[in-house]
């Protein structure tokens, strides 16, 4: 339904042709960027949340890998990073020996307390201080381990690197991903336009000149068949500008019923499609298109065949 590399006509309004009108040249329209989106880790796909023809935004989740083990590890790391009981115990121990040292300093100065006991008190205070520092460092390591586990889980989520449209879907949920792309995206704003000009016209091309790009009219019949057309990611304005020679037709299917039949019908008609729901049309006296909806009975299907036999 979407063609991102196609021949087109480009009309340049050159000053040399102002009296005679515009000059028309052939060229090619290409997407600004094409990206094959995959994963940096191996695993089994759990979800694929975009399909061919969907418009996606930068940072949008496109697919996820199975990550139950990694998430459990992350939650364990989170719990360790939030633990403070050991730090509080070490802090209380340090406070105790600090108070004990203050109380015994006066006795030591009056030579009532022997040096050995005073030395033992100071040594215990230093050990308590070291133990508290060790507990704080362990908490810091636990926080870093939690941050690492979060990044591991994030790597199992595939996000869109660009604003664009999905042009290919290569894998589905349950498939193993290894060294291959899940989706192929194309950034179509802006578009790259290459123009084929005769050498004789090159001297007349100046910076800042304006041109009108006219895509070559498609020769196909544009069909939408069971395509979840009710979803908000579809662009009705873009489809309404597409004018195939033999018309645009749409047939509803299961996906429209899941996402909302009313919204899907509004989208189709707004985009210029003739919706076939139990109808048959003959296109250019060549082919018949019958719109068979999920709720149409086999008897009605037979009647369609008799109508065109």
Structure confidence by residue, pLDDT tens digits, 182-200: 999 999 888 888 888 888 8
- Phi then psi for residue 66, to 5 deg, are -60, 130
The pLDDT value recorded for residue 174 is 93
User: What is the enclosing helix (H) or strand (E) of 169?
Assistant: strand 164-169
| CA-based nearest residue to 167, from 50, 46, 259, 45 | 50
Domain boundaries, the chain: 69-154, 217-309
Helices (H) and strands (E) in the chain, counts: 7, 15
pLDDT in tens, 101-112: 988 888 888 888
The pLDDT value recorded for residue 95 is 94
Mean pLDDT of 228-249: 61
DSSP state of 234: S
Residue 219 has pLDDT above 60, yes or no: no
Q: Give percent of the chain with pLDDT exceeding 90.
A: 40
Residue 20 has pLDDT above 60, yes or no: no
Residue 268 has pLDDT above 90, yes or no: no
CA–chain centroid gap for 242, Å, is: 26
Give the Cα separation of 137 and 166 in Å (integer): 47
Residue 278 has pLDDT above 70, yes or no: yes
Instruction: Give the three-state DSSP class for 33.
Output: strand
pTM: predicted TM-score of the whole model, two decimal places: 0.56
């Amino acid at each position: 339904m979407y063609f991102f590399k196609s021949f087109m006509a480009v009309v340049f309004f050159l000053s040399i042709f102002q009296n005679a009108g515009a000059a028309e040249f052939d060229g090619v329209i290409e997407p600004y960027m094409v990206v094959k989106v995959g994963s940096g880790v191996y695993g089994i796909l759990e979800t694929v949340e975009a399909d061919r023809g969907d418009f996606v935004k930068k940072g949008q989740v496109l697919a996820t890998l199975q990550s139950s083990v990694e998430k459990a590890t992350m939650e364990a790391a989170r719990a360790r990073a939030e633990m403070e009981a050991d730090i509080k115990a070490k802090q209380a121990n340090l406070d105790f020996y600090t108070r004990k040292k203050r109380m015994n300093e006066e006795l030591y100065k009056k030579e009532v307390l022997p040096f050995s006991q005073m030395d033992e008190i100071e040594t215990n205070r230093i050990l308590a201080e070291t133990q508290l520092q060790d507990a704080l460092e362990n908490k810091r390591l636990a926080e870093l381990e939690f941050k690492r586990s979060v990044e591991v889980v994030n790597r199992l989520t595939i996000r869109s690197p660009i604003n664009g449209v999905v042009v290919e879907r290569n894998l589905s949920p349950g498939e193993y991903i290894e060294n291959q792309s899940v989706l192929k995206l194309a950034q179509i704003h802006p578009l790259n336009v290459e123009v084929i000009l005769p050498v004789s016209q090159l001297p007349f091309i100046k910076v800042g000149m304006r041109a009108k790009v006219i895509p070559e009219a498609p020769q196909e019949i544009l069909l939408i068949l069971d395509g979840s057309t009710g979803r908000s990611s579809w662009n009705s304005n873009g489809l309404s500008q597409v004018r195939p020679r033999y018309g645009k037709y749409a047939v509803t299917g299961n996906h429209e019923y899941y996402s909302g039949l009313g919204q899907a019908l509004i989208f189709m008609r707004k985009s210029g499609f003739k919706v076939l729901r139990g109808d048959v049309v003959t296109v250019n006296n060549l082919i018949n298109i019958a719109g068979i909806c999920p709720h149409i009975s086999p008897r009605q299907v037979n009647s369609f065949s008799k109508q065109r036999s």
